[in-house]
Amino acid sequence: MNAAYGLDALEGFARDVLLATGMRPDDAGLLARSLVEADATGVATHGLTRLPAYAAQLRAGQVNPVPREEVLADAPSAVLVDADGGFGVPVGVRTVDRLMAKARETGVAFGGVTRVAHFGAAAFFTRRAAREGFVAFAMSSTSPSVVPFGGRGPRIGNSPMSFAAPGVREPELVMDMAQSVSSRGRIKVFEAENRELPQGWAVDRDGLPTRDPAAALAGGVLPSGGHKGAALSLMVEMLASGMTGARLTRDIRHAGFTSAGAPDLASDVTVGNSFLVLDAAVFGDAAAVRRRATEIAEHVRRSEPARDVDQVLAPGDPERARFAEAAAAGVPLSSATAHGLRALADELGLAFPHPLNDDQGADHGHRRKQETGPLPE
């Protein structure tokens, strides 16, 4: 059974864990916020369930807790950053901020990050830019987990990509998706909950369709949309690794936290990230761009719903609604995730927040004091 926890309490706990494993305060705060925001928006595969794995990577030295970022190339509308093996959220936020400053001058800016560890939920970056008036893309290369269209075993990445546009009141058309039917992280959740996969998600190591999560993790997931998803994966790999000089998917290794057996904490798990931002005012009327983004979304929302559907939603609407609910009633965590976090807290000598519905834990699981509404900065 899921229990709900206060947003601030969870963010503070995650920050304390990351500080205890050696990260700088500002970097720990950004990474903690991204993890809790993922849970609050319903993207649990990229939320606090990742924190024990992140802590293990930091303590093993697989991810650099105090990277020395270096700008390798800088142009009026582009920048390339070496992340020195650090997590992708802190360096990604700084890169997006650099790009927004450039795009205010040039209209558009492209940025790449090389030698970077996992960057989490891609929408964390695009929402940040859209709130400031930019149309934005964020992409990452990944280890091979997807079977190419017509192929047999995993050979291409699921290549996550996000897009967001500034709307009248808040970001609109926020989409965040891998180029596979499902992420390995989501399949791992099915495995933990002892549930069968839906048909058409994955194949086993022999290339045969399977609904067994363990067999799928040992085999490969299928591309979303067949040949279209496979092609998009290669596009993302080119922009995230081909342009930045990061390792290509064929050479990327994952740490094994989403597969069977003990995690591999010795391999190089760095990838490449890329970001593109366009100033909504590049053609002279930023307000008109915001209106059009909202009009596009509203046109979809006004669709007549199909049978058994309450309302047609635009991309980003489900996450926005879940965040509003989490801000009011707490962030839901699965019992498995909460158990893992409590074990991590005990290991590090930290206090894990009590659920909001636990009267004895009222002082620890305090509710976030803000109105429900737009996602936080």
Residues 212-234 pLDDT 10s: 999 998 899 999 999 999 999 99
Residue 139: count of CB within 10 angstroms of its CB: 27
Per-position b or e across 67-95, b if 16+ CB within 10 A of its CB: bebeeeeeeeebbbbbbbbbbbbbbbbbb
> 2 pLDDT exceeds 90?
no
Read off the pLDDT band of 260 (50, 70, 90).
low
Mean pLDDT of 247-264: 79
Please choose, from the candidates 234, 235, 270, 266, the residue with its C-alpha nearest in 3D space to the C-alpha of residue 251.
Answer: 270
Give every strand in the sheet of 220-221, ordered side by side.
209-210, 202-203, 220-221
Whole-number pLDDT of residue 152: 83
Mean pLDDT of 145-153: 89
Mean pLDDT of 253-278: 84
Whole-number pLDDT of residue 372: 37
Whole-number pLDDT of residue 264: 85
Lowest mean pLDDT among 20-34, 176-190, 284-298: 176-190
- DSSP letter for 65, please: S
pLDDT tens-place string over residues 94-131: 999 999 999 999 999 999 999 999 999 999 999 999 99
Judged by DSSP in three states, 108 sits in strand
Take residue 172 and report the two structure tokens written for it.
Answer: 């609109």
- Spatial separation of the C-alpha atoms in residues 205 and 200, rounded to whole Å: 15
For all residues of the chain together, what is the average pLDDT?
92
Read off the pLDDT band of 1 (50, 70, 90).
low
- DSSP letter for 190, please: H
Whole-number pLDDT of residue 11: 98
CA-derived radius of gyration, the chain: 20
Kindly give, in sequence order, each residue whose CB lies less than 8 Å from that of residue 29, ignoring residues fewer than 6 positions away: 15
Whole-number pLDDT of residue 361: 40
> 311 pLDDT exceeds 90?
yes
| Angle subtended at Cα 177 by Cα 50 and Cα 218, rounded to the nearest 5 degrees | 60
Q: Are 375 and 164 contacting, i.e. CB atoms less than 8 angstroms apart? A: no
Length of the chain: 377
Whole-number pLDDT of residue 160: 95
Torsion of CA 232, 377, 332, 23, to 10 degrees: 90
Measure CA 194 to chain center.
Answer: 24
Mean pLDDT of 282-298: 96
Lowest mean pLDDT among 25-39, 88-102, 262-276: 262-276
Half-sphere exposure of 274 (CA within 13 A, CB side): 21
> 3 pLDDT exceeds 90?
yes
Please choose, from the candidates 375, 365, 282, the residue with its C-alpha nearest in 3D space to the C-alpha of residue 4.
Answer: 365
Three-state SS letters, 130-170: HHCCEEEEEEECCCCCECCCCCCCCCECCCCEEEEEECCCC
Alpha helices (runs of H) in the chain, residue ranges in sequence order: 7-20, 25-40, 51-60, 88-106, 123-131, 184-192, 213-218, 227-237, 286-301, 317-329, 335-348
Percentage of the chain surpassing pLDDT 70?
93
Whole-number pLDDT of residue 370: 36
Per-position b or e across 117-129, b if 16+ CB within 10 A of its CB: bbbbbbbbbbbbb
